[in-house]
Amino acid sequence: MFAVGCLFVAAALAAASAADIGAARVVSLPAVPDRHGFAGAFAGVHNGNLVAGGGTNFPDGVRPWNGGKKVWHDRVFALAPANRARWREIGRLPMPNAYGVSLTIAEGVLMIGGGDADRNFSEVWLMTLERGTLAFRPLPALPTPLAQMAGAAVGRFVHVSGGIERPDAISASARQYRLDLDAIEKGWQAMPPMPAPGRILAIAASDGDAFYVFGGCSLAPDRANRPSRTYLRDAWRFSAGTWTRLADLPTTLAAAASPAPVFDRSVYVISGDDGTQIDLPSPADHKGFSRAVLRYDTITNVWHQAGQLELPAAVTLPTAPWKDGFVCFNGEVRPGVRTTQVFLLHRAR
């Protein structure tokens, strides 16, 4: 049995049943074989294999405000359906990379943009795992380098929105690009930009008919001309060439698991940074990120509280559809601290 434990996300709204809220079940998977784990990694599924790679951590164990060095990685791991007891390291990415968008498509795992300490990338790769062999095929590059953007696939169309072109950017993009997977030769096409502030670390989702973007952070220069974040709670739907504003998130939120899992026309927003601890005397005082699971009903345009995670809540983590649920891979549980945890989110029956 691949599960090493079960945790439950319980219903949490008064005067509403678990069926109304759409409680979710969380099943632990084997931890990734790294001492620290990774934030901002890429993850997806190909030929039934769960594949994950890249990301950042502080391998010396020293927090950044104490001089610790953040390192970008290129290691790739796989969890095979025939051997779900442990991950195995299977190769390397084309370059160390983190904080891009990863999506599972029929052909493999899309790795879009991202970056390292010095620059952000426009490169797009298709990662595949055939008979134990890891391979990468270049696809049309983004029109501009991007990291920390939101992305999801709506059918055979891949959408990305927001992000920053440089690691030191003091403003974020509101632009949107789309790639038709059945007309790759056309490359990425500019689509209507979001009619709202540009943003980083927004949460993306797709219900198969529309592209959704929730929250994130806008950027502006502070007095020292460094990027200052404003946490956002607005929510948007893009369909038929038009952006529509939706009901706001219950709270400001950024960097939750993305793309957000979708079950039965409900979007599940897992964890996230609500921005309430940005003015602490020291990052060492941080208490961890939100354990809340929110459910957005795409039919009624209503947000619900779907419970609380009973495991450390992580941010900047990718998701991937696997089996009848969604895998959430690693992430950052406090400033400078990653986790090795991997879990599978199911819709409760």
pLDDT in tens, 329-343: 999 999 999 999 999
DSSP 8-state class, residue 21: H
**What would the CATH number be for the domain defined by 6-75+89-347?**
2.120.10.80
Q: pLDDT confidence of 146, banded at 50, 70, 90?
A: very high
Q: Is 131 helix (H, G, I), strand (E, B) or coil?
A: coil
pLDDT in tens, 173-199: 999 999 999 999 999 999 999 999 999
Sheet holding 325-329, edge to edge: 6-9, 24-29, 342-347, 325-329, 319-322
DSSP notation for 32-99: PSSSS--BS-EEEEETTEEEEE--EE-TT---GGGTPPPEE--EEEEEETTEEEEEEEEEE-SS--BS
Q: Per mean pLDDT, which range of 74-78, 82-86, 97-101, 219-223 is the poorest?
A: 82-86
Task: Give residue 25's pLDDT.
Answer: 80
Cα angle: 307, vertex 308, 312; to 5 degrees? 160
| Residues in a beta bridge with 266 | 263, 297
CB atoms within 10 A of CB 137: 11
DSSP notation for 241-274: TEEEEEPPPSS--BS-SBSPPEETTEEEEE--B-
Alpha carbons 86 and 77: distance in angstroms, whole number: 10
Kindly tell me if the per-residue pLDDT of 328 is higher than 80: yes
Structure-token match 């991202």, residue found: 114
Domain ranges of the chain: 6-75+89-347
Task: Give residue 316's pLDDT.
Answer: 98
Instruction: Report the candidate in 297, 296, 286 with the shortest Cα–Cα distance to residue 256.
Output: 296
Kindly tell me if the per-residue pLDDT of 245 is higher than 90: yes
